[in-house]
Structure 1
Amino acid sequence: MTATTNGKTEPAALASALPQGLSAAQAAAALIADGPNALPDAQTRGLLAITRETLTDPMFALLLAAGVLYLVLGDLQEGLILFALVLVVLGLTLYQEGKTERAIASLRDLTSPRALVWRDGTAQRIAGREVARGDLLVIAEGDRVPADAVLLRATDVQVDESLLTGEPVPMEKGVDQPLFSGTLLVRGQGLARVTATGGQSEIGRIGQALGNLSLDASPLKQQMQRLIKVLAGVALGASLFLLLAHGVLRGDWLAALLAAIALAMALLPQEFTVVLTVIPALGAWRLSRQNVLTRRIAAIETLGATSVLCVDKTGTLTENRMTVAELYATPPPAQPATQGRSPSNCAPGERLPINYASTTDLPECFHTLVEYSILASVTDPFDPMEKAFHRLGQRFLQDTEHLHRDWILVQTYGLTPELRAMSHVWRARLGDAHVVAAKGAPEAIVDLCHLDTLAQAHITQTANAMAAKGLRVLGVARARFEGQDWPAIEHDFDFEFIGLLGLADPLRAEIPQAVSEARSAGIRVVMITGDYPATALAIATQAGLEPGGHGLLTGDELTHLTDVELQQRMVSVRICARIAPAQKLRIVQALKASGEVVAMTGDGVNDAPALKAAHVGVAMGERGTDVAREAASIVLLDDNFASIVGAVRLGRRIFDNLRKSMCYILAVHVPLAGMALLPVLLGWPTVLYPLHIAFMELVIDPACSMVFENEPAESDVMQRPPRDVQQPLFGGLTLGLALLQGLGALAVVLLATVWGASQLTEGATRALAFAVLVCTNLALIFSNRSRAGSLWASLWVPNHTLWGVVAATLVLMALALYVPWLAALFLFEPLPLTWLAAAAGLGLASVLWFELLKTINGKLAS
């Protein structure tokens, strides 16, 4: 008799005589009391939360206040224009932030386990978040445990708890032993009662503990908040001054109020909010196309400033595809190595390279080594290393007596922090003695075998030689045991050392180029691994990390270093070997204490504190845990180091484009503010009214966001050292360049206004000043496209959005100048085409001034 659910067949032993499960009503009550079985996620935000955060931004408050003031004055058109701008920016923010939240939620849902439970007397397959405390779980090989539980029945149950322990070796589980949420059943089947769900589970408590580590605020966000407050204060002060000056000098307080509002619109930097929303959000979209999912938008600009990349070796630098590449078998006592080769052409005590393409036969003396490596592994492996042992056996031992599919596993000893080795005890079909197979780190196996000093030195030398080739080296041992009274620890078995296996995990082909690119960008790459130091050194050499004399730090050394000593060591370290997951946090903190901007990769639960402490936490998307993703600000969907370097390149491009856009915004607001203020103070007719400035905003908004966001990376973007995150976005020379550009544009517009006033009517003069203002605005866009290159060179760099904005601007300007009803709305009078050509000429002439300023700025900066 069997029970089948969703294509999975459960044994009759589990489908009959089950303990009582929950009823639907009991499960619903438990879910109400405890909440859904999901990890606590303080970072998840709905649309209402995002809207509330956006509208509380100081710039949005100023925009809304200005719009309300227009409505109070009865100018519905101007008020609606301002509110439309608010809605456009808010819509972009909601769309981009919402898309990011939905993407990470989808990734989380994909990795969330489903569960088979007994409710109301039937087996039901439900979503993992619907599992309730008290539920009866039916689990089988390949299932992920959806909640903490205790085993009621167990048949040969082995569980991979690497998400919690960081070790890939399965743990044997029996009746009354606990199972933990998120762990994987790699063998057997069982029945378990749920004891804790969601935040009350072991993995949930670790997630909650992350709250003790605060996230670093984005340096750019802090700088922009300060700048916006300063500019808002300037706008308020200047507007009040103009209101009083105009009212006192001319006695027309209503006109004074309109002039003050126009000046406030000219000075209010509402584009900053647009830029800080659109450019990073579109950058996040671009990153997603490179297999990098942005968890928090603010991390993008920090990523571009990264000075140290801490990366895992396995799966990030390598392919995580293990293959046995070399064997070493010790000579048996009856046949020492000094007696030469055996009749089977085998030389025990020598190393044998394995090439699956050319190696056809495996010498007899290596058969036992392969046999016991398989016996020390699970029957149906999931770990790449154990899969490699099975493939080797199927390739070379298929028709020999060394494969034991009929043997029964009766006892296991798991990997522990004290002993990095595991053992399996088997009962053979013939004979009374049990066979014990052990595998693990060479030093651990040597310790189990209690070898003398000379033998230990020889094996260590051999292991180092194999590891120097970049191989992951494991030792194998065997023992025999009579009876059923199993020893409490593995050391009580009389183990005999068999040999070593070297596994190759190929370096990803693109890694050397990515490492070279990171080095040219001034970024130090630190490889972190739990592997043998010699293996780590070999892989680092292949990757081009160049560790040097003091570039290696082991976990044992780290344990004995104080925080200050570790900080000093990490200045030169390139490789961290034999590192436990919990030690990553100390590495991050030491690097941060030295002033580095740190990006850290990780996948396990124990990696989460380090991911959150780093400036940029990078979680693995393929093999990472939910807790790691929640702690990280970026999720690497393909687990590839080259994608991280690509993300750094894009982060630098985004910051460059932000700076270009901000420089343009400051520069373009100078002539706007000047032409709103100076004509009033000089007694001239008013040149700019609110509608003129609103028109300019229609040009400025897409220019500062879409045009500059679409600019490709500068040619030297990955040849510069990382920028100082504490350096202001508009500090010193950058601010000076923007102001001088703006003053130059203002001078050109004032010159045109004086010239036009001497020969044209008031309306035509206003039209001329407006046309020149539009042309100088376009000139500012072109000049600020490149950080250091000339405008003429940048003309050949493709940017379709730029030409679209330029064309739309010129068409709209022509309509405003020459369509009668629009010209009347703008208070324009017909402008002769010769004067329009002169306006275009003045705009082109202003480019020479902008380019001269940029050249001088570049020389001063260098």
Structure 2
Amino acid sequence: MWFSKTQEEVLQELQVNSANGLTIEEAKSRLEQHGANKLKGKPKKSIISLFFAQLKDMLIYVLLGAAVVTLIIGEYIDAIIILSVVVLNALIGVIQENKAEKAIEALQQMTTPRSLVRRDGEVKEILSEDIIPGDIIILDAGRYIPADLRLLETANLQIEESALTGESVPSDKDANALHEDPKTPIGDMSNMAFMSTLVTYGRGEGVAVETAMGTEMGKIAKILDADTKEMTPLQKKLEELGKILSYIAIGICVLIFIIGIFQKRDLFEMSLIAISLAVAAIPEGLPAIVAIVLALGVTRMSKINAIVKKLPAVETLGSVNIICSDKTGTLTQNKMTVVKHFTVSPLHNEPPVELIKTLVLCSDATFEHGQGTGDPTEVALVAFGEQNNLTKRSLDAEYNRVSENPFDSDRKLMSTLNKTRTGYRVHTKGAIDQLLKISTSAIVEGEVVPLTEELKQQYLRAAEEMSDEALRVLGAAYKDTDRLITSDEMEQDLTVLGFVGMIDPPRLEVKDSISEAKLAGIMPIMITGDHRNTAVAIAKELGIAHSIEQSMTGAEIDDLSDEAFSHKINDIRVFARVSPEHKVKIVKAYKAQGNIVSMTGDGVNDAPSLKIANIGVAMGITGTDVAKGASDMILTDDNFTTIVHAIREGRNIYINIRKAVIFLLSCNLGEVVAILTSILFFWPVPLLATHILWVNLVTDTLPAIALGVDPGEKGVMNEKPRDPKESFFAKGAGLRAILGGILIGALTLVAFYLGLNEHGYSLVSKDIPEGVMTYARTMAFVVLAASQLFYSLTMRSSTKSIFQVGLFSNKFLLGAILLGLVLQFAVITIPFLASAFKVHNLNLADWGLVILLALIPLTVNEIIKLFIRITRRKESA
């Protein structure tokens, strides 16, 4: 705790003399002991290891099993298709993971290349990576801090620490300050300077107390480097589903062999049947379809300014019920803005011209074409002048500055002496209480009057009201003189003009987005390094919180046990004055209660919590490379509203994936029902393994992908977030899948029976000719494929009819059904394909029959939905 020790104690502990610095020999020795001042990361994984890591998934094992099956039965083309899907999925995963793990590299790039140090009594410029504990570092404006420093000397030193604290205003530093509280937040450590922060004003000296991974930036790097990968709800469900399907496939194979032994069937025949059933139980295209649907979702989201780096993050968005957001730059505009002014005048609506002139002339910032340079507070003042047609450039040209008294943190004032037509005018800005001490008069209703005690109280009350609104108050005063005066004379007998209140204002569109999020059952939480009053004021304006009791500081978090904090957290909406470690603790506490947490931010200080959250969202414009590297999603417009749009998209994508999965399982169940029933009753098998593979990989896949891009349901944001533990088969979906599967399987057997019956045979006939069997299997094959294609239409909604949803609202699905029917017709009619699949062309009457049978599952499901709608209307009446 270097911040609690005096300069002398620190120098003594580090065994260094500030006047001379370390010797060359001592520096070499310490460099060997402590190592280079560089942030470290875990060794990079090779591309090969990344590739094989992508294959560690149960559904991938299922796919590989299907490939083995197709090789066994000699269908090499299908095997190549399946293996291609596996390789493609793995390659996509490698590319995504390679892009995602850039956070440590970005942190390493933030360390500065060269620094000024004092060694052997001389000031030298050395590589920042050669800095070691005990080095005396020289600081001046525009220079980055190379390590964590205990400041030894400061002269008006200000350091911009937003990367660590989230504060948009530079921090004043005081080398003589002491902070005895061990829980002092980083933003309040006025006697310390931290690696990778920027000196914006003044000068100073400090001794390096921590380097490399020991710095505050190093602590962030350690958190980012920790292995925090966690499966998304969808990944968990798919892995669970994959295991179930694989167990079912194995169970079916065992069952078939047992039945075959009892029925005294041919062992080779039973092997082919077992393979057919195993293939029927496994939806080979499922992993590929889910990946394609997510990828298409990513493309759609990029059009609404949300770039998703990791495919599963799209689905995770749909489950989000807490959005933890950084304040500065995310909920606010990340630029100080003058929002109020006060002068003792009845014309408060008129622009206070003289007040603005003084504030602009007594500033060193610039603001042109919407862009400013310099101290953020001064930029806000110059921008205020620009808004009132009092530009910095024109005022400087008219009133030339001839002298100045720079800002000093003790005086809390800055003054300039400017030439006027009749002489000179002093312009002073600073803390209102300090201005009142050195002023003797004030402007009241355009007249100069004595500054009475009553008038002073009026100024102080108005300033306090602004402060209560979390505004930063800055006063202005002036004095006319007919001669050049000294710096000390400048700040005497001034005339008070008034003051302005400024704040980093909230983004205009965020309030509506927060209201929409709340309606959708999502709780917005503000987490910031800024002061409590400022944070709560912004939170109140945006509708995040309604009282200061709903806020908590980092120091208060430290005072609570994990159990007490977990209990208290549900009542808090604003966390202020927090460190990166606090942000991680907050996100973890929410996750421990079963919440799906999105964390939004742009600074280095946000990166650890972005990585630990279920979904980390970084700002694309103002966000640091570190934040972007640690995130799952990047907002290209830095707009909080985009998160809400992305959540809506995520919810719809999950619903669509669920539709596709239920559809595929219904279809596969139909295949299992058809084959297993025929075996149990000692009937001929109605389908070959090649038929099942064709349906699973071609005619099922196209509608499943089309369901995956179904237009979103309009009321999706009027519902609460989905429970991540909710099963795929909740809300009757499982029952509908079973019913659909039984219908498809039964109708496939009906078609098979009709095909045999047409030629004078039945399901129990012996010695059925090969030609008759081929014809009957063709009818079963067509009904199986066509019924699944038509059934996809009814899967678009669990309650609305296909006409309520809009028959033509998903043109991709209509196209998929039409293409599927064309492909099925081609397989039946093109001779070499018919020969390969062992099928036969049907006559016109049979085509009509199979189409009629194929429409039955669709019709039955639509009737069920009608009864559901009628029942709900009665209940609500």
TM-score tier, shorter chain, comes to 0.7 to 0.9
Cα distance, 1:732 vs. partner? 6.1
Aligned 1:72-91 pairs, distance under 5 A: 73=72, 75-78=73-76, 80-91=77-88
Per the alignment, residue 689 of structure 1 pairs with 688
Per the alignment, residue 850 of structure 1 pairs with 861
Distance 1:70 1:447 in 2: 90
Closer/same/farther in 2, CA of residues 684 and 382 from structure 1, 3 Å limit: farther
Distance 2:575 2:215 in 1: 32
Closer/same/farther in 2, CA of residues 439 and 273 from structure 1, 3 Å limit: farther
Q: Is the 8 A contact 2:62 2:242 kept in 1?
A: no
Per the alignment, residue 714 of structure 1 pairs with 713
Q: Is the 8 A contact 1:438 1:478 kept in 2?
A: yes
Per the alignment, residue 388 of structure 1 pairs with 380
| 3-state SS, counterpart of residue 717 of structure 1 | helix
Q: Is the 8 A contact 1:213 1:613 kept in 2?
A: no
2:31 equivalent to 1:40: no
Per the alignment, residue 811 of structure 1 pairs with 822
Per the alignment, residue 238 of structure 2 pairs with 224
Specify the code of the residue in structure 1 equivalent to 2:613. Answer: A
Closer/same/farther in 2, CA of residues 313 and 169 from structure 1, 3 Å limit: closer
Moved more, 84-93 or 605-614: 605-614
Pick from 779, 794, 803: which aligns with 1:783?
A: 794
CA distances 1:275-333 after superposition (whole Å, capped 9, x unpaired) = 4433333323333332223344333322211222233344323433443232236xxxx
Contiguous gaps of at least 5 residues in structure 1 = 1-18, 23-29, 119-129, 330-346, 414-421, 485-494
| 3-state SS, counterpart of residue 285 of structure 2 | helix
Distance 2:315 2:860 in 1: 31
Specify the code of the residue in structure 1 equivalent to 2:68. Answer: V
Aligned 1:262-341 pairs, distance under 5 A: 262-328=276-342
Distance 1:439 1:324 in 2: 15
Cα distance, 1:832 vs. partner? 0.9
Per the alignment, residue 241 of structure 1 pairs with 255
Distance 1:704 1:265 in 2: 19
2:95 equivalent to 1:98: yes
Cα distance, 1:185 vs. partner? 5.0
Per the alignment, residue 362 of structure 1 pairs with 353
Per the alignment, residue 744 of structure 1 pairs with 743
Closer/same/farther in 2, CA of residues 145 and 706 from structure 1, 3 Å limit: farther
2:597 equivalent to 1:598: yes
* Alignment TM-score, normalising by the size of structure 1: 0.74
Closer/same/farther in 2, CA of residues 106 and 586 from structure 1, 3 Å limit: closer
Closer/same/farther in 2, CA of residues 463 and 789 from structure 1, 3 Å limit: farther
Per the alignment, residue 419 of structure 1 pairs with none
Distance 1:428 1:595 in 2: 62
Cα distance, 1:188 vs. partner? 8.5
Pick from 550, 553, 560: which aligns with 2:551?
A: 553
Cα distance, 1:108 vs. partner? 7.6
Distance 1:510 1:168 in 2: 20
Per the alignment, residue 450 of structure 2 pairs with none
Aligned 1:516-527 pairs, distance under 5 A: 516-527=515-526
Cα distance, 1:649 vs. partner? 0.5
Aligned 1:181-192 pairs, distance under 5 A: 181-186=195-200
Q: Is the 8 A contact 2:102 2:626 kept in 1?
A: no
Specify the code of the residue in structure 2 equivalent to 1:810. Answer: L
Question: How many pairs are equivalent?
Answer: 769
Closer/same/farther in 2, CA of residues 524 and 58 from structure 1, 3 Å limit: closer
CA distances 1:85-109 after superposition (whole Å, capped 9, x unpaired) = 1322431442366157447859987
Per the alignment, residue 679 of structure 1 pairs with 678
Distance 1:448 1:269 in 2: 82
Q: Is the 8 A contact 1:472 1:504 kept in 2?
A: yes
| 3-state SS, counterpart of residue 601 of structure 1 | strand
Closer/same/farther in 2, CA of residues 202 and 455 from structure 1, 3 Å limit: farther
Cα distance, 1:374 vs. partner? 6.5
Cα distance, 1:509 vs. partner? 4.0
Per the alignment, residue 824 of structure 1 pairs with 835
Specify the code of the residue in structure 1 equivalent to 2:553. Answer: G
Per the alignment, residue 793 of structure 1 pairs with 804
Distance 2:568 2:454 in 1: 33
Closer/same/farther in 2, CA of residues 112 and 550 from structure 1, 3 Å limit: closer
| 3-state SS, counterpart of residue 730 of structure 1 | coil
Cα distance, 1:498 vs. partner? 8.9
Distance 2:613 2:662 in 1: 30
Closer/same/farther in 2, CA of residues 399 and 829 from structure 1, 3 Å limit: closer
CA distances 1:61-86 after superposition (whole Å, capped 9, x unpaired) = 23324433554x4x4434x4134213
Distance 1:455 1:47 in 2: 73
Specify the code of the residue in structure 1 equivalent to 2:258. Answer: L
* Alignment TM-score, normalising by the size of structure 2: 0.73
Closer/same/farther in 2, CA of residues 528 and 501 from structure 1, 3 Å limit: farther
Q: Is the 8 A contact 1:816 1:826 kept in 2?
A: yes
Distance 2:434 2:640 in 1: 31
Q: Is the 8 A contact 1:40 1:198 kept in 2?
A: no
Distance 1:448 1:94 in 2: 71
Cα distance, 1:652 vs. partner? 0.3
| 3-state SS, counterpart of residue 809 of structure 1 | helix
Closer/same/farther in 2, CA of residues 242 and 305 from structure 1, 3 Å limit: same
Per the alignment, residue 252 of structure 1 pairs with 266
Specify the code of the residue in structure 1 equivalent to 2:377. Answer: M
Cα distance, 1:235 vs. partner? 1.0
Closer/same/farther in 2, CA of residues 95 and 611 from structure 1, 3 Å limit: closer
Closer/same/farther in 2, CA of residues 460 and 665 from structure 1, 3 Å limit: farther
| 3-state SS, counterpart of residue 217 of structure 2 | helix
Q: Is the 8 A contact 2:527 2:574 kept in 1?
A: yes
Specify the code of the residue in structure 2 equivalent to 1:225. Answer: E
Q: Is the 8 A contact 2:364 2:374 kept in 1?
A: no
Distance 2:844 2:524 in 1: 61
CA distances 1:687-710 after superposition (whole Å, capped 9, x unpaired) = 211211111122256336521221
Closer/same/farther in 2, CA of residues 454 and 193 from structure 1, 3 Å limit: closer
Q: Is the 8 A contact 2:158 2:201 kept in 1?
A: yes
Closer/same/farther in 2, CA of residues 172 and 558 from structure 1, 3 Å limit: closer
CA distances 1:457-487 after superposition (whole Å, capped 9, x unpaired) = 967753464468x7733345999xxx99xxx
Distance 1:846 1:515 in 2: 43
Cα distance, 1:216 vs. partner? 4.6
Closer/same/farther in 2, CA of residues 456 and 224 from structure 1, 3 Å limit: farther
Per the alignment, residue 335 of structure 1 pairs with none
CA distances 1:771-800 after superposition (whole Å, capped 9, x unpaired) = 100111112211112243222233435334
Distance 2:871 2:233 in 1: 25
Q: Is the 8 A contact 2:358 2:429 kept in 1?
A: no
Moved more, 156-165 or 143-152: 143-152
| 3-state SS, counterpart of residue 306 of structure 1 | coil
Distance 2:636 2:54 in 1: 29
Cα distance, 1:400 vs. partner? 10
Q: Is the 8 A contact 1:604 1:628 kept in 2?
A: yes
Moved more, 768-777 or 729-738: 729-738
Closer/same/farther in 2, CA of residues 107 and 693 from structure 1, 3 Å limit: farther
Specify the code of the residue in structure 2 equivalent to 1:758. Answer: N
Specify the code of the residue in structure 2 equivalent to 1:60. Answer: I
Q: Report the identity percentage.
A: 28
Closer/same/farther in 2, CA of residues 627 and 651 from structure 1, 3 Å limit: same
Closer/same/farther in 2, CA of residues 447 and 154 from structure 1, 3 Å limit: closer
Distance 1:132 1:464 in 2: 47
